[in-house]
Amino acid sequence: MEHELKQVYEKISKTMNLPPYQGMSSLKDISFAIDNIVAELNERRKNYAKLLEEHIEELSRTYQEIATLFELNNVFANVVDPEEGLESLVELLKQTIPFLAICIELNVADRYVYYEKLFKLDHETFAKAKQLIDTKSDSVFLIEPTHNSEVRNLLSIPVKSGKSLWGRITLVEREPDIFTAVDRKILEAAAQQLSSICERYVRLKREVEREKLREQLEIARQIQMRLYPRKLPNLSYVEISADTVPAIQVSGDYYDILVRENRVFATVADVSGKGIPAALMMTALRSALRTLSRNVETISQLAVQLNNVLCEDLEEDRFVTMILLCLTRDGELHIVNAGHNPVLLVSGDDITTVEAQDLPLGILRDTNYREVVTKIGTGDLIVAYTDGVTEARDSSGNEYGLERFCAKIKELRNHSVVQIVEQLKNEIENFSKGTQRHDDTTITVIKYLGDNSV
């Protein structure tokens, strides 16, 4: 019996890696040895239980971390302003990383966002911690307790996307322990989310500004449209129609019709360039022309004076090409062509052109402008236009050209001037369908009805 017990003990101690019990001689000894084994087993069980608990604790922490990473997405899901959501972000980070203070600094477009929260840190240490960070840098800062810094430890991650550095997010002092690799991963994920918000904010901001500009441009367009003559003079010896279409909302083209002492003054002009700069010059040109036209006898005088005003006002690389027309009741027509497209005189099936004779306005002071004088007959048409007409292009890049324009005018010449302008406009519109209009387009058509006063 004793021998068998000894054998049992040997077997157990061998499997448990215990030292063989020496000098066992009695049952008492064996019973004592077995007590030892039971004590050892209990100790081991306790250790295993502790180990298991530690594992579950670790697992639970990991689960918390994963949950945090998932939640980070939700915090900013519908956020537009970078400041929104910071409070929830901090709360979320705090659930996972036991830091004592946090500071988030962002520079987004015109916004400076600063957020700080101290949980268990004094202001003095926090201020010191902030001094340790270079806000201009785009690298990660990590201070460990072994660095013997005034701040026990610190983890600071830049908020950036591509080349844009938006700011940084800094955790000050972790309690207990040191910042872990997982802490860093989570903070990086938070920074990533923040940078997406910053990008989104900048894009939105730009969009809003573009929209504002579009609105202002639309207002400018409406103002400019009112500067063109709204009601053309109703005279017994002429029929007049004119229209303009801007390339980009506002135009550098100008046309006007004035009646002075039974004479019709008409003008078509084109300020070099397009858009707002050209439109601003067009308004200045209109004021100058309307003022000067009261005190001049001839259109060549008007051209000289306008040129001198424009030479003073225009920037060096800007100029104005212009047609000035003056038609009397008896069909005498005076034309000044200052560097502009030819004026077309349509008489029956014949079209003659009056080409540019002098420099555009605004180039050389005291330039002399010559008048062409001619007599036109009843039913004749005078057509003045800007280069947006003949230089219109189709989708293959072909130019509309003067030839096509003249052919169309001939075809339409017996229509009313309103119809002629309308149909010429449609023709060009159709020709350049599917392309972007590249210049302002203006057409003025005058039909002489003959001196019917007598």
Partner 1 sequence: MGYRVLVVDDSEVLRKIVSFNLTREGYAVEEAKDGKEALEKLRQAKPDLVILDIMMPYVDGFEVLKTMRKDPELKDIPVIMLTAKGGEDDPKTALEIGANGFLTKPFSPLKLLEEVRRVIGRGA
Of 190 and 443, which CB lies nearer to partner 1 in the complex structure? 190
The SS3 assignment for 356 reads coil
List, in sequence order, every residue forming a beta bridge with 321; answer none if it has no partner: 270
For 273-395, strand residue ranges (E) read 320-327, 332-338, 343-347, 350-354, 372-375, 381-385
Least Å from the CB of residue 104 to partner 1: 21
Q: What angle do CA 324, 326, 329 make, to 5 degrees?
A: 165
Name the one residue in this structure whose structure tokens are 């292009």: 393
**Number of Cβ atoms within 10 Å of the Cβ of 79:** 19
For residue 284, the one-letter residue type is A
* Burial class of residue 359, CB neighbours in 10 A (0-12, 13-18, 19+): middle
Token pair belonging to 12? 């157990």
CB atoms within 10 A of CB 26: 9
Closest to partner 1 by CB, 61 vs 147, is 61
- State the minimum distance, in angstroms, from the CB of residue 73 to partner 1: 10
User: Nearest approach, Cβ of 69 to partner 1 (angstroms)?
Assistant: 8
Q: What sign does the dihedral 210-215-220-221 (CA atoms) show? A: positive
Nearer to partner 1, 94 or 393 (CB): 94
Residue with Cβ nearer partner 1 (175 or 355): 175
Within 8 A by CB and 6+ apart from 282, the residues are 224, 227, 251, 252, 253, 254, 269, 271
The smaller minimum CB distance to partner 1, of residues 85 and 388, is found at: 85
Cβ 43 to partner 1 shortest distance, Å = 23
Residue 54 C-beta: closest distance to partner 1, Å: 10
Q: Nearest approach, Cβ of 48 to partner 1 (angstroms)?
A: 15
In whole angstroms, how close is the CB of 118 to partner 1 at the nearest point?
A: 21
Contact residues for partner 1 (CB under 8 A)?
53, 56-57, 59-60, 63-64, 66-68, 70-71, 95-96
On the CB side of 360, CA atoms within 13 Å amount to 17
With respect to partner 1, which residue has the nearer C-beta, 68 or 444? 68
Residue 74 or 414 having the CB closest to partner 1: 74
